[in-house]
Amino acid sequence: IEEEFTDALSPLMLVATLNSTFTFDKEMKQAGFGWTFVGTRRSDKLPIAASEEGNEEGKIMRVLQQEAFVADLLSQDDRSLSNFIYSSMDYGIHEPWFFTASSGFAESLPNMIDTLKEKDELDRGTIVKAATQMFLAIEGLHRAKIIHGNIRPENFVIGSRHNNRKIMLMDFACASGSSMEFPRAQPLSDLTYASRSRQRDFEATRKDDLESWLYCVMEMYHKELVPWTNEKIVDKSSSSYLTNMLKLKRAFCTGKMWKSMLNIVPDEFGRIMEVQRKVRRYHSPDYSLTWHLLVTACIRYEVEPFAYFSWNRGNTGNPVIHSKYQTTPVTLQIADID
């Protein structure tokens, strides 16, 4: 965040956006999409997260247009499709910066996974649950005829407040769809989790999203399962880095790395990789079979896909407020009939 904007903020500064008015201060928090400002919607005191960027060569306006278009499509469709989608709720401008406002603060999924690993609290059941919800987010987007185009760990966040049991998908700058009105997708800035086709600059498809999803899931189990992210194995400064990365991705997707995964990853993911290999580029993936395999993995580890995660807080012992309609039972003086 640029220092000039931080300096320009004053306590309880008012900023008007497209749909409402917010107050901001200089407090910042680390959220799924980087550093954001703390804000409050004036109408109902709803806490919000606001991120800002300068409009370099109109780039931010194009990103906002993309985000707004996706949010509008999801609001018109079946609401169940957006259950695991974390989209912006409002947009605004304070020259020369542009804002996106989101409800509450979301924690980055990879940050949470790393924290659990450091505490030695990450188990396979947690990863299976996370993988299942990540898949549902992608499937919901696809059923709304939207292709994300940039599936990567940083684009998955843990929902805030009442959604803290959900893993949600965000950042639609690279999204595309079947509608002719769909804004032009932004180019990928990082190819680490891009599918093989996306790395070769082909148009994004549903298969590409699911291939990138598999990379993200395998990395949660162990970083060395996606070796092209390890600088000890692949030299990112080398002129042949992209070629070497593509070769490793090809070995991953064709199952040549499966032996190294056997003792780490549930068997069901090997089957999921086989299912993905059989999907033709522009054909629909078999979502039902993938879902069935994920649920089977959940049953194997005795976990509920939508239950509390290990990072959710339980009851902290706060006192229960009794109902004002509670009454004291009264014994009736009625004699038994012989």
Instruction: Kindly report, residue by residue over 185-243, the tens digit of the pLDDT.
Output: 888 888 999 999 999 999 999 999 999 999 999 999 998 899 998 877 778 888 888 99
Q: Taking each helix axis as running N to C, give the angle between helix 267-277 and helix 287-300, from 0 to 180 degrees, rounded to the nearest 10.
A: 170
Instruction: Kindly report, residue by residue over 141-187, the tens digit of the pLDDT.
Output: 999 899 999 999 999 988 765 667 789 898 888 999 877 788 888 88
8: pLDDT confidence band, cut at 50, 70 and 90?
A: low
* Alpha-carbon span 251 to 35, nearest angstrom: 36
Q: Taking each helix axis as running N to C, give the angle between helix 206-221 and helix 267-277, from 0 to 180 degrees, rounded to the nearest 10.
A: 160
The more confident residue out of 187 and 43 is 187
Q: Please report the pLDDT score of residue 191 as a whole number.
A: 93
Q: Is residue 208 situated within a structural domain?
A: yes
Domain hosting 130: range is: 107-300
Q: Given the structure tokens 């199952």, which residue do they identify?
A: 255
* Alpha-carbon span 13 to 94, nearest angstrom: 11
* Alpha-carbon span 28 to 105, nearest angstrom: 11
Percent of the residues in the chain that have a pLDDT greater than 90, as a whole number: 34
Residues 6 or more apart whose CB falls under 8 angstroms from that of 290 comprise 135, 210, 272, 275
Helical ranges in the chain per DSSP H: 3-8, 59-76, 109-118, 124-143, 196-199, 206-221, 241-253, 258-261, 267-277, 287-300
Q: Is residue 123 situated within a structural domain?
A: yes
Total domains in the fold of the chain:
1
- The H-or-E segment that residue 27 falls in is strand 21-31
Q: Is residue 334 situated within a structural domain?
A: no
Mean pLDDT estimate for the chain: 79
Q: Please report the pLDDT score of residue 31 as a whole number.
A: 47
Mean pLDDT across 59-73: 74
Q: Please report the pLDDT score of residue 128 as a whole number.
A: 95
Mean pLDDT across 307-331: 60
Q: How far is CA 322 from CA 318, 326, 328, 330, in A?
A: 12, 7, 13, 19
User: What pTM does this model have?
Assistant: 0.78
Across-strand partners of 147? Answer: 176
| CB of 210 closer than 8 Å to CB of 138 | yes
Instruction: Write the CATH number for 287.
Output: 1.10.510.10
Q: Is residue 86 situated within a structural domain?
A: no
pLDDT at residue 330 greater than cutoff 80: no
Q: Is residue 39 situated within a structural domain?
A: no
Q: Is residue 307 situated within a structural domain?
A: no
Residues 6 or more apart whose CB falls under 8 angstroms from that of 337 comprise none
- Residue 171 CA, chain-centre distance (Å), reads 8
Q: Is residue 9 situated within a structural domain?
A: no
- Residue 56, both tokens: 């370099």
| CB of 273 closer than 8 Å to CB of 253 | yes
Q: Please report the pLDDT score of residue 49 as a whole number.
A: 67
| CB of 172 closer than 8 Å to CB of 141 | no
52: pLDDT confidence band, cut at 50, 70 and 90?
A: low
Q: Please report the pLDDT score of residue 63 as a whole number.
A: 72
Q: Is residue 281 situated within a structural domain?
A: yes
What value, to the nearest 5°, has the Cα angle with vertex 274 and ends 271 and 279? 130
- Residue 279, both tokens: 């999907």
Give DSSP secondary structure letters for 322-335: PPTT---------P
